[in-house]
Amino acid sequence: MAGKPIVFIDGGDTLVVEGSIKRDENDVVQSTDPVPGALETLRWLKDNGYTVCMVDDVKNQSVTNVFMANGHLDCFAAVSTSEEAGVAKPAAGIFENAMKKLGLSQEDKKKIIMVGNSCRNDIAGANRFGITSVLMDWSPRHNMTPQNADEVPDYIIHRPDELPELLERLERRNGG
Protein backbone atom coordinates (compact mmCIF):
# COMPACT_ATOMS: atom_id res chain seq x y z
CA MET A 1 0.00 0.00 0.00
CA ALA A 2 2.95 2.31 0.69
CA GLY A 3 3.46 3.73 -2.76
CA LYS A 4 0.45 2.36 -4.56
CA PRO A 5 -1.43 5.11 -6.36
CA ILE A 6 -5.09 5.59 -5.43
CA VAL A 7 -7.22 5.84 -8.56
CA PHE A 8 -10.07 8.30 -9.02
CA ILE A 9 -11.70 7.70 -12.38
CA ASP A 10 -14.32 9.36 -14.58
CA GLY A 11 -17.17 7.47 -16.26
CA GLY A 12 -18.31 8.97 -19.56
CA ASP A 13 -15.83 8.35 -22.37
CA THR A 14 -13.28 7.06 -19.86
CA LEU A 15 -14.97 3.81 -18.76
CA VAL A 16 -18.20 3.89 -20.78
CA VAL A 17 -19.02 5.20 -24.23
CA GLU A 18 -20.90 8.47 -23.82
CA GLY A 19 -22.60 8.14 -27.21
CA SER A 20 -24.09 4.76 -26.23
CA ILE A 21 -25.75 5.97 -23.01
CA LYS A 22 -29.48 5.35 -22.69
CA ARG A 23 -31.28 7.36 -19.98
CA ASP A 24 -34.79 7.17 -18.58
CA GLU A 25 -37.09 10.16 -18.11
CA ASN A 26 -35.40 10.99 -14.79
CA ASP A 27 -31.98 11.25 -16.42
CA VAL A 28 -30.89 7.97 -14.83
CA VAL A 29 -28.63 5.91 -17.08
CA GLN A 30 -30.18 2.56 -17.95
CA SER A 31 -27.41 1.10 -20.06
CA THR A 32 -24.21 1.93 -21.87
CA ASP A 33 -21.36 0.16 -23.62
CA PRO A 34 -17.92 0.00 -22.02
CA VAL A 35 -14.93 1.69 -23.63
CA PRO A 36 -12.85 -1.15 -25.13
CA GLY A 37 -10.52 -2.51 -22.46
CA ALA A 38 -12.15 -0.56 -19.62
CA LEU A 39 -13.75 -3.48 -17.79
CA GLU A 40 -10.63 -5.62 -18.14
CA THR A 41 -8.60 -2.74 -16.70
CA LEU A 42 -11.01 -2.28 -13.78
CA ARG A 43 -10.71 -5.98 -13.01
CA TRP A 44 -6.93 -5.80 -13.21
CA LEU A 45 -6.91 -2.86 -10.77
CA LYS A 46 -9.09 -4.76 -8.32
CA ASP A 47 -7.07 -7.97 -8.64
CA ASN A 48 -3.83 -6.07 -8.12
CA GLY A 49 -4.93 -4.32 -4.95
CA TYR A 50 -5.54 -0.81 -6.23
CA THR A 51 -8.13 1.37 -4.53
CA VAL A 52 -10.46 2.76 -7.21
CA CYS A 53 -13.15 5.40 -6.75
CA MET A 54 -15.42 6.52 -9.53
CA VAL A 55 -15.76 10.31 -9.52
CA ASP A 56 -18.47 11.37 -11.91
CA ASP A 57 -21.17 13.92 -12.58
CA VAL A 58 -24.07 11.50 -12.50
CA LYS A 59 -26.77 10.13 -10.26
CA ASN A 60 -25.82 7.25 -7.96
CA GLN A 61 -28.39 4.97 -9.51
CA SER A 62 -26.77 5.41 -12.94
CA VAL A 63 -23.49 3.97 -11.67
CA THR A 64 -25.29 1.11 -9.96
CA ASN A 65 -27.34 0.29 -13.07
CA VAL A 66 -24.40 0.21 -15.44
CA PHE A 67 -21.85 -1.58 -13.27
CA MET A 68 -24.28 -4.08 -11.75
CA ALA A 69 -25.27 -5.05 -15.28
CA ASN A 70 -21.69 -5.49 -16.49
CA GLY A 71 -20.60 -7.22 -13.29
CA HIS A 72 -17.87 -4.77 -12.30
CA LEU A 73 -19.45 -2.74 -9.46
CA ASP A 74 -17.21 -4.58 -6.99
CA CYS A 75 -14.14 -3.04 -8.64
CA PHE A 76 -14.94 0.30 -6.99
CA ALA A 77 -14.01 0.80 -3.35
CA ALA A 78 -16.30 3.84 -3.45
CA VAL A 79 -18.25 6.06 -5.80
CA SER A 80 -18.46 9.85 -5.53
CA THR A 81 -21.18 11.38 -7.66
CA SER A 82 -22.25 14.97 -8.20
CA GLU A 83 -25.67 13.98 -6.89
CA GLU A 84 -24.13 12.99 -3.57
CA ALA A 85 -21.48 15.73 -3.34
CA GLY A 86 -23.91 18.46 -4.36
CA VAL A 87 -21.35 19.84 -6.82
CA ALA A 88 -19.97 18.67 -10.16
CA LYS A 89 -16.42 18.48 -11.44
CA PRO A 90 -14.23 20.53 -11.53
CA ALA A 91 -15.39 21.63 -8.03
CA ALA A 92 -13.26 20.37 -5.14
CA GLY A 93 -16.28 19.03 -3.24
CA ILE A 94 -16.72 15.96 -5.40
CA PHE A 95 -13.05 14.99 -4.88
CA GLU A 96 -13.29 15.75 -1.15
CA ASN A 97 -16.35 13.51 -0.96
CA ALA A 98 -14.34 10.70 -2.61
CA MET A 99 -11.52 11.09 -0.09
CA LYS A 100 -14.00 11.08 2.78
CA LYS A 101 -15.72 7.94 1.52
CA LEU A 102 -12.39 6.15 1.22
CA GLY A 103 -11.24 7.42 4.62
CA LEU A 104 -8.15 9.06 3.13
CA SER A 105 -5.90 11.51 4.96
CA GLN A 106 -4.06 14.57 3.66
CA GLU A 107 -0.94 12.37 3.65
CA ASP A 108 -2.67 9.96 1.24
CA LYS A 109 -3.58 12.82 -1.07
CA LYS A 110 -0.24 12.84 -2.88
CA LYS A 111 -0.86 9.26 -4.03
CA ILE A 112 -4.20 10.06 -5.69
CA ILE A 113 -4.47 10.23 -9.45
CA MET A 114 -7.55 11.37 -11.37
CA VAL A 115 -8.10 9.73 -14.76
CA GLY A 116 -10.56 11.34 -17.16
CA ASN A 117 -11.24 12.59 -20.65
CA SER A 118 -12.19 16.21 -19.96
CA CYS A 119 -9.47 18.83 -19.65
CA ARG A 120 -12.01 21.28 -18.28
CA ASN A 121 -13.64 19.03 -15.66
CA ASP A 122 -11.34 16.11 -14.82
CA ILE A 123 -7.91 17.59 -15.40
CA ALA A 124 -8.47 21.15 -14.15
CA GLY A 125 -10.45 19.74 -11.22
CA ALA A 126 -7.62 17.40 -10.24
CA ASN A 127 -4.89 19.98 -10.73
CA ARG A 128 -6.67 22.61 -8.62
CA PHE A 129 -7.45 20.01 -5.96
CA GLY A 130 -3.77 19.12 -5.81
CA ILE A 131 -3.79 15.55 -7.09
CA THR A 132 -2.07 13.99 -10.11
CA SER A 133 -4.04 14.36 -13.36
CA VAL A 134 -4.15 11.79 -16.17
CA LEU A 135 -5.89 12.63 -19.44
CA MET A 136 -7.27 9.69 -21.39
CA ASP A 137 -7.78 10.98 -24.91
CA TRP A 138 -9.51 7.89 -26.32
CA SER A 139 -12.65 9.79 -27.28
CA PRO A 140 -12.66 12.53 -29.90
CA ARG A 141 -15.83 14.00 -28.36
CA HIS A 142 -14.15 16.72 -26.32
CA ASN A 143 -11.50 19.23 -27.10
CA MET A 144 -8.30 17.60 -25.85
CA THR A 145 -6.29 20.80 -26.07
CA PRO A 146 -5.85 22.48 -22.68
CA GLN A 147 -7.30 26.00 -22.74
CA ASN A 148 -5.26 27.26 -19.79
CA ALA A 149 -2.53 26.14 -17.40
CA ASP A 150 -5.02 24.43 -15.06
CA GLU A 151 -6.11 22.11 -17.86
CA VAL A 152 -2.65 20.71 -18.63
CA PRO A 153 -2.51 17.04 -17.55
CA ASP A 154 0.44 15.54 -15.69
CA TYR A 155 0.22 12.42 -17.87
CA ILE A 156 -1.61 11.35 -21.03
CA ILE A 157 -2.79 7.86 -21.93
CA HIS A 158 -4.78 6.87 -24.99
CA ARG A 159 -6.70 3.80 -23.86
CA PRO A 160 -7.78 2.20 -20.56
CA ASP A 161 -5.31 -0.66 -20.97
CA GLU A 162 -2.42 1.81 -20.78
CA LEU A 163 -3.31 2.58 -17.16
CA PRO A 164 -1.60 -0.43 -15.50
CA GLU A 165 1.80 0.47 -16.93
CA LEU A 166 1.44 4.10 -15.83
CA LEU A 167 0.41 3.02 -12.33
CA GLU A 168 3.40 0.74 -12.01
CA ARG A 169 5.64 3.61 -13.12
CA LEU A 170 4.08 5.97 -10.57
CA GLU A 171 4.37 3.32 -7.87
CA ARG A 172 8.11 3.05 -8.48
CA ARG A 173 8.32 6.86 -8.36
CA ASN A 174 6.45 6.79 -5.02
CA GLY A 175 8.97 4.31 -3.71
CA GLY A 176 6.47 1.46 -3.58
Beta strands in 46-96 (DSSP E): 52-56, 78-81
Q: In terms of DSSP bridges, do strands 112-116 and 6-9 run parallel, antiparallel, or are they unpaired?
A: parallel
Distance in angstroms (rounded) separating the CA atoms of residues 146 and 123:
9
Span of 77-85, 86-94, 116-124, 167-175 interacting with Mg ion by CB under 5 A: 116-124
Rounded least distance, CB 114 to Mg ion, Å:
11
Residue placing its CB nearer to Mg ion in the complex, 146 or 176 = 146
Phi, psi of 141 (to 5 degrees): -65, -35
Distance in angstroms (rounded) separating the CA atoms of residues 39 and 97:
24
12 binds Mg ion (CB under 5 A): yes
Distance from the first to the final alpha carbon of the chain: 8
Question: Which of 5, 7, 8, 10 lies at the binding interface for Mg ion (CB under 5 A)?
Answer: 10
Rounded least distance, CB 163 to Mg ion, Å:
15
Span of 81-89, 90-98, 114-122, 165-173 interacting with Mg ion by CB under 5 A: 114-122
Question: Which of 13, 32, 131, 132 lies at the binding interface for Mg ion (CB under 5 A)?
Answer: 13
81 binds Mg ion (CB under 5 A): no
Please give the helix or strand (H or E) that residue 92 lies within, else none.
helix 92-102
Rounded least distance, CB 142 to Mg ion, Å:
8
Burial tier of 27 (Cβ tally within 10 Å: 0-12, 13-18, 19+): exposed
Span of 7-15, 45-53, 78-86, 91-99 interacting with Mg ion by CB under 5 A: 7-15
Question: Which of 62, 65, 97, 117 lies at the binding interface for Mg ion (CB under 5 A)?
Answer: 117
Binding residues for Mg ion (CB under 5 A): 10, 12-13, 117
